[in-house]
Amino acid sequence: MIDTLVTKIKKTEAPIVVGLDPKLNFIPSAILDKAYAAYGKSLEAASYAILEFNKGIIDATYDLIPAVKPQIAMYEQFGLPGLVAFKETVNYAKSKGLVIIGDVKRGDIGSTSESYAIAHLGSIDVGGEKIKVFDEDFATVNPYLGSDGIKPFTDVCAKEGKGIFILVKTSNPSSGEFQDKDMEGKPLYEHVGAMVDKWGKDLIGECGYSSVGAVVGATYPEVGKIMRKVMPKTYILVPGYGAQGGKGKDLVHFFNDDGLGAIVNSSRGIIAAYKNEAYAKYGEEGYADAARQAVIDMREDIKSALN
């Protein structure tokens, strides 16, 4: 799957993933009103509105980008109807040729991680029938439980041609509380990064990168610089650009000299672009066009930083 992702990144010249993390207050009132009229103020209404909103974003951006990253928490908070919207979003984005990074941050002891890996990347066996479940292309995974929590994911990746991104250094302000602390001479995130490199060794694709990637926040560019060297064959998923404060120039260190090696996420900055002054002229009814322009501007920001 890493080969597919890299091919799409090269083709679009956009190392960008759009985070499909809809909140109800991002959704134009015309869509919400229609949803409430049809379903009342219910989880089903939220589900309908989210899916409509996402389709608008996908339709307006799919030709420009290689991938989308739905954050499952934004759907899970609307319960079962919300998860229907998650699944439908995955299906719709796939039908438009996009790679799907399921931002699920799962991770557990071995036997349980296996179930999560099946849920998001694999197939479940029901009485001999193999059935695909949420069927994303990549999933994000939490490393706190160590190798036996990761191995079921890498096994499924090998078997099904899928990939993962493991949390190394997260973009949030308090990520350093544990991740930055010195552990036998280097910060925890470096230990995790070294393990990511190791876990990915058997899954290196034709593009030269592994299907086992890492998450390192744009908000910590100096960490990106170090981790780029610790994990030379690892694709880095970089959240924190835009709304969280990361800028184009901060991203340089996450890329290799081949111009590859990183894919940068923006969520609010794209899908709620119309709420920013720079794109206010589009208005809420133009939210999808605003998102398209925000993607184009982000692509140029990254391109000029890399040149």
The angle that helices 110-121 and 147-160 make with each other, rounded to 10 degrees, is 30
Other CB atoms within 10 Å distance of the CB of residue 113:
23
At 290, the amino acid letter reads A
Binding-site member from 4, 7, 115, 256 for a second copy (CB under 8 A): 115
Touching a second copy, residues 42-101 (CB under 8 A):
42-43, 45-46, 71, 73-74, 76-80, 83-84, 87
Contact letters (x/-) for a second copy, 177-216, by CB under 8 A?
Answer: xxx-xxxx---x--xx--x---------------------
The closest alpha carbon to 250, from 273, 272, 228, 268, belongs to: 228
CB of 206 to a second copy, least distance (A): 30
Query: In whole angstroms, what is the distance from residue 118 CA to residue 194 CA?
Result: 26
Burial code (b: 16+ CB inside 10 Å, e: under 16) for 257-296 equals eeebbbbbbbbbbbbbbbbeeebeebebebbbbbbbbbbe
Q: Is 169 a catalytic residue?
A: no
String of contacts with a second copy for each residue 210-239, x by CB under 8 A: ------------------------------
In the chain, % helix, strand, coil (3-state, to 5) comes to 55, 20, 25
Q: Which of 34, 105, 151, 275 is catalytic?
A: 105
Decide if residue 12 touches a second copy (CB under 8 A). no
Q: Which is nearer to a second copy, 63 or 125 (CB)?
A: 125
The CA-based angle 15-19-21, given to 5 degrees, is 175
Residues making contact with a second copy (CB under 8 A) = 21, 24, 32, 36, 41-43, 45-46, 71, 73-74, 76-80, 83-84, 87, 105-110, 112-113, 115-116, 118-119, 124-129, 131, 133-134, 142-149, 167, 170-179, 181-184, 188, 191-192, 195
Q: Which residues are catalytic?
A: 105
